[in-house]
């Protein structure tokens, strides 16, 4: 059970004109793992996520989620299968409160939008879910603020909350700490770690901050120019000479502080 593969790609490829952004990638993601994708700018990490979530169609290759071929499914269908993708704030409704944003997300995957004739109590479970999620992301005190009033760091937490509200089996988190003040990062990483420890969700994380990646990951895939350069546990990656030589030192500084 522990080693079950929840997501797998076969020769997944995306070309933009003459540029090969993702080049025949074969990746396996184990259920319940926190699996990080690292690599320099332009390595193809975000493109890979877009292919997994159905936001982009691959040039060739397949994507399997829980054994099902989802290659041709658009994002609004993969979300119903349990793939939650962060969209860098763009799907936050600025004029709704934190609570309403999260409740709407829960409702959107609850399959009964537009059934206005349902008794309001029917929607209580979405309110309950929203409350749970707000606790989890630590925005209790901001629950009734308009989303647009939140500082950047809290918007990132809300973004995670919106994904969690959809009750995903797989979370695709693309640089969740980007633009956050350094002191805000531990709380978000704690939340991500808690989600991981609960064990019922799989997390794929793209993150440039190596100390975070090394601390939270079960497994790391290193991408470089659209290809997989190396894979392994954090200590294996930190010790991998090809990775070091190819770019880690150059792009991220040295690993002397990584335990």
Ligand X SMILES: Nc1ncnc2c1ncn2[C@@H]1O[C@H](COP(=O)(O)OP(=O)(O)OP(=O)(O)O)[C@@H](O)[C@H]1O
What are the structure tokens assigned to 87, written together? Answer: 């969209």
Decide: residue 197, CB within 10 A, 0-12 exposed, 13-18 middle, 19+ buried.
exposed
For ligand X, the closer CB: 49 or 126: 49
32, 199 in Cβ contact below 8 A? Answer: yes
**Could you tell me the smallest distance in angstroms from the CB atom of residue 179 to ligand X?**
13
9 interacts with Mg ion by CB under 5 A: no
Enumerate binding residues for ligand X (CB under 6 A): 16, 19, 21, 39, 41-47
Q: Quick check: helix, strand or coil at residue 243?
A: helix
Number of residues that bind Mg ion (CB under 5 A): 2
- Cα-flanking dihedrals φ and ψ of residue 252, to 5°? -120, 5
**Could you tell me the smallest distance in angstroms from the CB atom of residue 251 to ligand X?**
10
151, 145 in Cβ contact below 8 A? Answer: no
79, 107 in Cβ contact below 8 A? Answer: no
Q: Which of 172, 147, 142 is nearest to 160 (CA)?
A: 172
* Residue 16: contacted member of Mg ion, ligand X, none (CB under 5 to 8 Å, by partner type): ligand X
Checking phi first, is residue 105 left (phi over 0); if not, alpha (psi -120 to 50) or beta? Answer: alpha
> What x/- string results for residues 42 through 71 when contact with Mg ion is judged by CB under 5 A?
---xx-------------------------
For Mg ion, the closer CB: 125 or 152: 152
DSSP string, 76-90: HHHHHHTEEE--TTT
**Could you tell me the smallest distance in angstroms from the CB atom of residue 208 to ligand X?**
6
* Residue 21: contacted member of Mg ion, ligand X, none (CB under 5 to 8 Å, by partner type): ligand X
**Could you tell me the smallest distance in angstroms from the CB atom of residue 165 to ligand X?**
25
Residue nearest to Mg ion (CB): 46
**Could you tell me the smallest distance in angstroms from the CB atom of residue 175 to ligand X?**
7
- Interface residues with Mg ion (CB under 5 A) are 45-46
């Amino acid at each position: 059970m522990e080693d079950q593969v929840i997501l797998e790609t076969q020769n997944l490829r995306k070309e933009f004109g003459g540029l090969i952004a993702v080049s025949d990638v074969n990746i396996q993601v184990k259920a319940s793992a926190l699996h990080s994708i690292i690599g320099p700018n332009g390595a193809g990490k975000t493109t890979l996520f877009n292919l997994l979530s159905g936001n982009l169609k691959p040039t060739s290759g397949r994507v399997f989620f829980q054994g099902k071929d989802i290659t041709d499914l658009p994002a609004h269908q993969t979300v119903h299968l349990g793939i939650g993708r962060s969209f860098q704030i763009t799907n936050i409704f600025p004029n709704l409160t934190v609570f309403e944003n999260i409740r709407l997300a829960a409702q959107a995957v609850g399959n009964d939008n537009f059934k206005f004739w349902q008794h309001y109590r029917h929607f209580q479970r979405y309110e309950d879910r929203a409350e749970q999620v707000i606790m989890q992301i630590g925005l209790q005190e901001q629950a009734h603020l308009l989303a647009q009033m939140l500082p950047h760091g809290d918007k990132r937490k809300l973004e995670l909350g919106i994904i969690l509200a959809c009750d995903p089996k797989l979370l695709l988190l693309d640089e969740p700490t980007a633009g956050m003040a350094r002191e805000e990062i531990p709380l978000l990483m704690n939340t991500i770690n808690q989600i991981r420890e609960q064990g019922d969700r799989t997390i794929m994380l793209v993150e440039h901050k190596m100390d975070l990646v090394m601390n939270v990951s079960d497994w790391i895939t290193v991408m470089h120019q659209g290809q997989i350069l190396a894979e392994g546990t954090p200590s294996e990656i930190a010790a991998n000479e090809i990775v070091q030589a190819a770019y880690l030192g150059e792009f991220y500084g040295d690993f002397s502080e990584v335990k």
